[in-house]
Structure 1
Amino acid sequence: MGKLSGALDMHIHGAPDIVKRKLSDIEIVRDAITHGMYGVVLKTHLGSTAERAALMQELFGAKLRVFGGITLNNFIGGFNPLALQVALMMGAKIVWMPTFTAKTHLIYERKIGKAVNALSNVCANIEGLSILDDNGKILDSVVKILNLVAKHNAVLGCGHIGMEEVKALIPVAKACGVKKIVYNHPNNPINAASLEEQQWLVSQGVLLERCVVDLVQGLADWKIILKEIRETGVENNIFSTDLGQFTNIAPTKGLELAHDILLENHFNTQEISKLICENPRELLLT
């Protein structure tokens, strides 16, 4: 059995896209099958991958589970309940809060004075989305979004809205009946969450998604991430890749890298399986 036997990568970016990608959806799925993986989640910042995932599932049948989701960026109208409802009806399993058009993301990019990728230029002149109104209250449209996520038992991904907004989001999400919440890449400067904040998140039942892309691009440190996984509990973490960038390694290579480094740093095979197989599968299948 290979290193990735039974693994599920919950965060892969493929082509088609307006950003140059390393692999197409078809190539991503074929590569995952070759490595004996259980499944992959296709993600785009542009909207929904539910349709693309359905096509990949039809093409490759029982060889791999292919999941899609929807990202609530301006490209589909932001917090658009109708767009979300259609995506969920099409089979979307994950609903991500805004990423590249999140206000927090845009503030970060403007602060560092550097575009993350080609999408940054498209978003250069927009204000950005916040889940909060001017009085700090959750928008009615966001509450409608959360009710739809709960109704369809989908996974809520926090996207790039950052800790300040997430602290307001989680209690409302739980009150709406949302059962599965993931805080995406807490070690990325855009979404940085301190260890104390991560511990609060897991106390609220939130899973922490560690992403290989943050490590291969030098945005995070392996030692810190491994320590934080220990501090917050293997059962409360998942390892995804967030790969697909043209200049980076392939997603399967990234997940193998995570496997090897975890093993080298005294995580046993059962713990590694929790991080890359069991925890993501439980999120998507229960």
Structure 2
Amino acid sequence: MPASTAVERVLHGLVDLHCHSGPNPLPRRFDHVEAARDGARLGMRALLAKSHHHNTVMDLLAMKQQLDGLSTQVFGGIALNQWVGGINPYAVELSLRMGGRAVWFPTVSSSAHVEHHRSGGGFPSPTIPLSGAQTDIRGEDGEFLPEVYRVLDLIVEAGALLSAGHLPSDDVLALFTVAAERGVRRMVLSHPNFLIGSDAARCREFTALGAYIEHETSMYDPEVAQARGGPDVLMRWIEEVGPEHTVLASDLGQRGRPMPVDSFIRVGGALLDLGLPEKDLRMIVRDNPSFLLALD
């Protein structure tokens, strides 16, 4: 059996928890419907449409007729950046009760991301003028804002996914600790070695609280100009944290970058070549994200 066919067989039924399809003020290669249609090439079971700027649930409801009948399901959620009012329980309540499956704590307006911009990092220029402001989860006394607790309770009520967004590592640990105490069952941290500042030892503290560690194909795909390392780096992370606590997503959709399906095939194939068992690759692309998205 050719290697590409073997990889596609292992990846069949995958769930992408980190798809940046449009519409969006940042330039996107495809919209949510096109993402789902392309996902059918790998028998993609579902994808989670993420925007740093707005509640994607409303996009999906507006596209319902186009999405109905497609084999890949598309789900949405809300990121708590300044464009939705920051840590805004009312916006979270609306998103989740309209069918949202995920709440991302501050991403591009977190202190870690703002500092990243100051040090020379950044995203492509938006297609419209946008103001920027930092979104904090703590008050002047250093304690979590009351709104944080309300948001966590809404996540529990909906059985939704809590993402730590781009919060600094110490804030992630504090957030996951409180979330676990309040009954949040689904938690994830994205790209720990980009922006977040977490090593494998700290990530094991997160997984001890029930969280999963998400890595993205875009960070390890040789065809992505800003990849953070080769698949061997990803393989070490999987070995150190464990496939049972790991998720592989794409973080793709940006104009000029690969299609998620192609990136999954390249990175998944590289992991198999490095010796990752097929059952472990299925776990990190299918089983773990299916649980986090409450598909089963």
Question: Structures share a fold, TM > 0.5?
Answer: yes
> 1: distance between equivalents of 2:64 and 2:235?
34
Q: Specify whether residues 237 and 114 from structure 1 end up closer, same or farther in structure 2 by C-alpha distance, changes over 3 A only.
A: closer
Matched residue, 2:16: 9
Matched residue, 1:26: 33
5 Å-filtered alignment, 1:142-161, equals: 142-161=148-167
Matched residue, 2:196: 191
Q: SS at 2:144's partner residue? A: coil
- Is the contact between residue 187 and residue 214 of structure 1 (CA under 8 Å) also seen in structure 2? no
2:96 is aligned with 1:88: yes
> 2: distance between equivalents of 1:143 and 1:256?
40
Q: Summarize deviations over 1:179-225 as a string: whole Å, max 9, x none.
A: 1110111121x123111111111111110000112223222443222
Matched residue, 2:78: 70
Q: 2:242 aligns with which of 233, 243, 247?
A: 233
> 2: distance between equivalents of 1:16 and 1:79?
23
Q: SS at 1:118's partner residue? A: coil
Matched residue, 1:139: 145
Matched residue, 2:116: 108
Query: Under a length normalisation based on structure 1, what TM-score does the superposition of the two structures give?
Result: 0.93
Q: SS at 2:181's partner residue? A: helix
Matched residue, 1:173: 179
5 Å-filtered alignment, 1:33-48, equals: 33-48=40-55
Q: Summarize deviations over 1:92-116 as a string: whole Å, max 9, x none.
A: 1011001111122101210x22432
> 2: distance between equivalents of 1:233 and 1:125?
37
Q: Summarize deviations over 1:135-161 as a string: whole Å, max 9, x none.
A: 221110111111111111100001111
Specify the code of the residue in structure 2 equivalent to 1:27. E
Matched residue, 1:162: 168
Query: What is the CA-CA distance between 1:71 and the residue it aligns to?
Result: 0.6
Specify the code of the residue in structure 1 equivalent to 2:102. I
Query: What is the CA-CA distance between 1:258 and the residue it aligns to?
Result: 2.1
> 1: distance between equivalents of 2:200 and 2:99?
34
Deviates more, 1:3-12 or 1:46-55: 46-55
Q: Specify whether residues 139 and 228 from structure 1 end up closer, same or farther in structure 2 by C-alpha distance, changes over 3 A only.
A: same
- Is the contact between residue 12 and residue 40 of structure 1 (CA under 8 Å) also seen in structure 2? yes
Q: Specify whether residues 86 and 30 from structure 1 end up closer, same or farther in structure 2 by C-alpha distance, changes over 3 A only.
A: same
Aligned residues: 283
- Is the contact between residue 231 and residue 271 of structure 2 (CA under 8 Å) also seen in structure 1? no
Identity among equivalent pairs (%): 28
Gaps of 5+ in 1: none
Q: Summarize deviations over 1:60-93 as a string: whole Å, max 9, x none.
A: 3352221111111100101111111010011110
> 2: distance between equivalents of 1:29 and 1:125?
31
Query: Under a length normalisation based on structure 2, what TM-score does the superposition of the two structures give?
Result: 0.90
Query: What is the CA-CA distance between 1:243 and the residue it aligns to?
Result: 0.5
2:215 is aligned with 1:210: yes
> 2: distance between equivalents of 1:259 and 1:85?
36
> 1: distance between equivalents of 2:132 and 2:290?
39
Q: SS at 1:223's partner residue? A: helix
> 2: distance between equivalents of 1:230 and 1:200?
16
- Is the contact between residue 106 and residue 166 of structure 2 (CA under 8 Å) also seen in structure 1? yes
